[in-house]
A and B are shown apart, each in its own frame.
Chain A
Amino acid sequence: MDNDQTFGGISSEEIADFVRALAAPPTEAGASPTARFSRHVSNLIFIRAAYGEAKTFSVFLRSETLADDIARCECVEFPLLRNGSDAVAGRIWISTASLTTTFEAKLAWSDQTSLFQAIRDAGFGGMPALVVDWRTGMPIGTLYREGLSNASQSERVIFTELPISPVDIKGVLDRFYDRSLRTPALVVEGHAMRIWSDAGKGIPEARPEERIQGRLSDFLKSAFPRYDVRSETQTADGRADIIVYRKDTTAGNLPATVTHWVLELKALCDMTSTGNTVPMATIPTAISDGLDQAIAYKSRLNAVNAALCCFDMQKDEEDEKTLFGHIDVDAGNANIHLWRWYLYRNTKASRRQNIKSGSV
């Protein structure tokens, strides 16, 4: 009785029953509005794919102020679109992050070029957009976080429940790096938590991995909306930084959770957050520790795949071969992918490297 009083009008039995029935916390919790939007649209696309849609495009625009946006052109309300009973292909949709009330924008277009132009001309070019290409029969999603006016900044959204290949997840991580981490300016533009305390001096913020982890989780949630993403999953060997998993059923039709990916994150810094120099030998040790953790978590969680993801914040850039030379055999034996991204301390150095590598 004393215990019940702690919870006011809710009994401890009610809490226990509720949590048991829920089984797992909602993946949308903590996600950004665009990640939530991507996942809600994905659920709808998954339902609609089973019905078969016309071989054309759908565009879903995320509005911050729906009433203002729908006043810009002729719109028709579809309050129950989220239920999946209405055809979505060949139409432009405007909704909010929760995809509750949705409106069809009646804009004239005939092909992909005129589709994008019509959206920009209507003043919707700055709204986050998820474009679905139905032409191949299997829907292909592209997310434009900054809207179609900035169409060069896009990300693939995987609508299928097929296993996530190393190429798929590496591609998402590469885009995450290009969009959010590559230079200190991008960290600010992406509204991410600061990773550098003083980039010019090479001083990181405290616990940079945790800062990267939160932003990366959100990116993964929008890129793989049919999967669940969790940070800090507890195992007997410690906490896995990020896991990507799906609820499934066994051959015997029993509920199961399949962990498809374990991502172990390491920020490699040659200075502490207080500005002290980190001894040189610390970096190889940190990488070795990261590999050990990735191996342990992969085993504990019965994961299909695992990767050690290193975010190199050192002054001098090292190539992957040099950085991972001391662990690549062990990693190969344990089937752990080794990936690394270099975080430039200023835009000039990043630009110079882009020119050197021929990517611009």
Chain B
Amino acid sequence: MRETTIVSLMTRARLVQIMAALERNGATPIPSRSLHSFAFFANVLSPIWDLTPLDGSVLKEKSGPFYPALQREIDYLIGRSVLTVVSLKSMGHGEASFIEPSLRLSKANAQPVLEVVDALPDEQMTARFLDQLAAAFVEITPDERTDAATLDAAYSDPAVASGRIVDFAEWVEPTFGNPAWSTAQAFQQYMPSNMVLNRAEKLAMYMRLIKKRAANG
């Protein structure tokens, strides 16, 4: 099988897992830009759970992270009726305008994929991670979910200018070289001495910090 096909299949499978987690936690229908935002968090925070990010870097844009490969799979799964377009909204102005769909998962069509993916031992851990992430993500006000990713420690790093690559796991260590991971680890030093944070708590606290930043603008 060609490498591009494998990457495409992995992205597609991850997209179905992501949508299932968002469905379970009441975050759908989700605008496609918010979905890219969630996918970014799923990448940048996966080292907290000792998981390898699907994408270790992303282009820094003012409008937030956008994954062309993920968008291709979104389009493909809409075409296969695994994702359903609930509504369309005109966004932006002039040349930058675009039509944004709000999406949800068609459980009946996604179920065969989920059954295969969930049977893989490593993917069970990924599913738990995505469920916990979605539970935290849904606490962010819907209007602020798209912009939330721009407030992430790695994405908002002033050392990375807009139009450059935010690298948190491509050429750098996904842990020490990843500001989001470092921030999540730093919570421990401010906790009472008798409280040792586990990875789920670090993840939930990190997303609460992002929620607070989003609410403060």
Please report A residues at the B interface, Cβ cutoff 8 Å.
Answer: 5-10, 12, 14-16, 18-20, 22, 24-26, 28-30, 33, 36, 64-68, 95-101, 230-235, 239
**Among B9-17, B67-75, B184-192, which stretch is in contact with chain A?**
B184-192
Within 8 A of A (CB), among B134-161: 135-136, 138-139, 151-159
State whether A19 touches B190 (Cβ < 8 A).
yes
Q: Does B198 contact A (CB under 8 A)?
A: yes
Question: Which residues in B have their C-beta under 8 angstroms from that of A24?
Answer: 195
Majority SS at the chain A contact face: mixed
Please pick, from A6, A19, A98, A232, the residue contacting B187 in the complex, using a CB distance under 8 A: A19
State whether A36 touches B135 (Cβ < 8 A).
yes
Q: What would 16 A/B residue contacts be, using CB atoms closer than 8 Å?
A: A7-B186, A8-B154, A15-B187, A15-B190, A25-B205, A29-B198, A30-B198, A30-B204, A64-B23, A66-B23, A67-B28, A67-B104, A96-B25, A98-B138, A231-B198, A233-B194
Q: Does B88 contact A (CB under 8 A)?
A: no
State whether A100 touches B204 (Cβ < 8 A).
no
Q: Does B105 contact A (CB under 8 A)?
A: yes
State whether A8 touches B132 (Cβ < 8 A).
no
Please pick, from B20, B186, B205, the residue contacting A12 in the complex, using a CB distance under 8 A: B186
Please pick, from A19, A95, A231, the residue contacting B191 in the complex, using a CB distance under 8 A: A19
A97-B156 CB under 8 A given contacts A12-B186, A68-B108: no
Complex interface bits, B88-115 against A, C-beta within 8 A gives 1, otherwise 0: 0000000000000000111110000000
A30-B201 CB under 8 A given contacts A15-B190, A22-B208, A97-B26: yes
A235 to B193, CA, bound (A): 9
Interface size class of B (residues with CB under 8 A): 35 or more
Q: How many A-B pairs with Cβ below 8 Å?
A: 136
A233 to B198, CA, bound (A): 11
- The residue on A at minimum CB distance from B138 is A98
State whether A10 touches B135 (Cβ < 8 A).
no
Q: Does B8 contact A (CB under 8 A)?
A: no
Question: Which residues in B have their C-beta under 8 angstroms from that of A8?
Answer: 152-157, 159, 179-180, 182-183
Within 8 A of A (CB), among B164-217: 179-180, 182-183, 186-187, 190-191, 193-198, 200-201, 203-205, 208-209, 212-213
State whether A6 touches B138 (Cβ < 8 A).
no
Q: Does B24 contact A (CB under 8 A)?
A: yes
State whether A9 touches B153 (Cβ < 8 A).
yes
A22-B25 CB under 8 A given contacts A16-B190, A28-B135: no
- The residue on A at minimum CB distance from B151 is A9
- The residue on A at minimum CB distance from B197 is A25
Smallest beta-carbon distance A257→chain B, Å = 9
